[in-house]
Structure 1
Amino acid sequence: MTAVDGVPFKIFCSSESMRKLFGKAAYKDLPKSPNTIKKKVLNKSELLKKEVKKELNDIKTAGIQLAVSLDEWTSARNRRYVNVNVHSPELSEGFRNLGLTKIRGRGTAENCYNILNEKLVYYGLSIQNDISCIISDSASVMCALGRMVPSYHQLCLAHGIQCAVLDVLYKADNTEGNTGITVNRPCDSSHSEDESDIENEDENRFVIEADPSGVIPKLVYKELITKVRKIVKFLKGSPTRMDILNSYVESKSKDTTLILDCKTRWSSLGDMIARFLEFKDAIQKTLIDFKEKTTFSDTEILILKDMSSSLNFINCGHS
């Protein structure tokens, strides 16, 4: 419960309900001191580490090399850590987590390399002889680390997708030479409030064409996402608005909770758009009730459907 759910040690001592629960489960000798419980947890941790060491040593003895994935993480208390995983088909779940190590001082590539090397040595592995590949994101410190290790360095595919989604859908780039994405017919621009609408009645999917009149600049995607986020935040920010939205939803069994995207989690954009499209009619009626002038053209809905379809396809392929 401490390791998986983050339950503090003192709760097992101070909570009468918790102690009764353990008592009914035949754990009559639950310690009354947090320090005693902490020692039990740490002792169990050492036993588990020994099991992992033996498992990795068996793989090493069989002459099978492993892969390593690592990433830097900063806690809410602004403390930085490096997490290390080892991967092999010979492991029961395909990988073993070797745990977090706190970064002391600057988070340089050299510091991360030393942490990685010490972690592997602790488990009886050599970064020179037992590791065939290291996987990380494309942060500059990790790229520098990749140049230091003797094995192959593979940049994380998921992080590459994240960078691509941010570059194509979130960043407005109308500089010269930006080809954007084209559609089968030219499109005219119109504006409602501070957002852009694109008029295009063709029902086909977007295709890459040489015709410059069919280009949809990346600015359109950014403004359209901003427009959806504005509506989602407007509705989620008020229980009254959500109650009215629920009243317009035909199936009361559906989850009408709207989703707000997060730039650091690219798949959340697809979730936000998919949920928005699912309830677009009810959302539009709710906006009318509150005399909101923001509307979505048929072309904007088509663009959103294409975005949702593309992100869902990438998400399924990545999973």
Structure 2
Amino acid sequence: MFTLTLKPSSLASFSYQPGQHIPIQIEINGRVYQRTFSISSAWRQWKKSSTIEISIKRAPQGLVTNWIPNNLKKGHIVRIGEAQGSFVLSPKQRRQTNAFVACGSGLTPILSILESLSDAQLSSQHLLYSVSHEPEAPFKNRLQTLANKGLNLLILESSSQGRIKNDTLEAWLSEIQIESAYACGPSGLSQHIHDLFIERSQRLGHATPKFFTESFGFANASASSDVTLSFKDANGRLIMSKQKNGTLLENAEKTGLNPVYGCRAGICHQCIAQKKSGRVRNLKTNQISDAGKEDIQLCICVAETDLELTINERTVQ
């Protein structure tokens, strides 16, 4: 995990809430790429030094996530956008009893939230962090500091202890009543944790907690090559191609189009396009759409039938 410290140049216009993410634009070999990363630093760091941190996990085949730690140096200028996202604590929730479940790099927004709380507020917060191997868990020192201040912390080594189960929640929370539950990790984690908390609430006779999720990644984007994609840009130009493996965003890029996008993971909603006709499959929910007009996210959809789309293209300054 690589941590990058950023200092926004326009301090008056930049703000964020712990748990939110920001889009970052990087130019690589003359082409501009945009990715979205969660802010991993505490609010007090922003107030003290006007800096924020993002923590980046290298993806094996990730162009941007491998380029950043190898090439960005102190003093380099990158473009960032406004902080976005609703994976945050309201002032009321800061005073409530909350449970957080993180898997892998899904810890970063939760770490920002927890480190922004007072010691008194931390005593009613509970964090379950699932990692493949505990000795390699990132941010262990920061997590231990939070635990010393009152956070109920359980680190689960998934390689030896397996998936999170009802028994895991019982060992972690006992019979504590949870008012809000937050889960962040790969696609599939959120629904699993949601189901576990519903079962737990019913078993203990508690009210079902409010549930908040953030996820990354999704099912394999395999798609039928018999489908024809018709992309129309803002100028009315029509480009048609046979669908290849990958999302609609990736297919549009393969035709030479430059669609607006952000996170490429279904979080930021910047890649919204209008579907004129045809059916798409959402890779995060596996649901298939109706055939009529609707807005869809290019980065998490593949076509199930011939498709006509109007997309928004990026304007490179």
Same fold (TM over 0.5): no
Bigger Rg over Cα? 1
> Could you state the TM-score of these two structures normalised by the residue count of structure 1?
0.28
Q: Which has the higher helix share?
A: 1
> Could you state the TM-score of these two structures normalised by the residue count of structure 2?
0.28
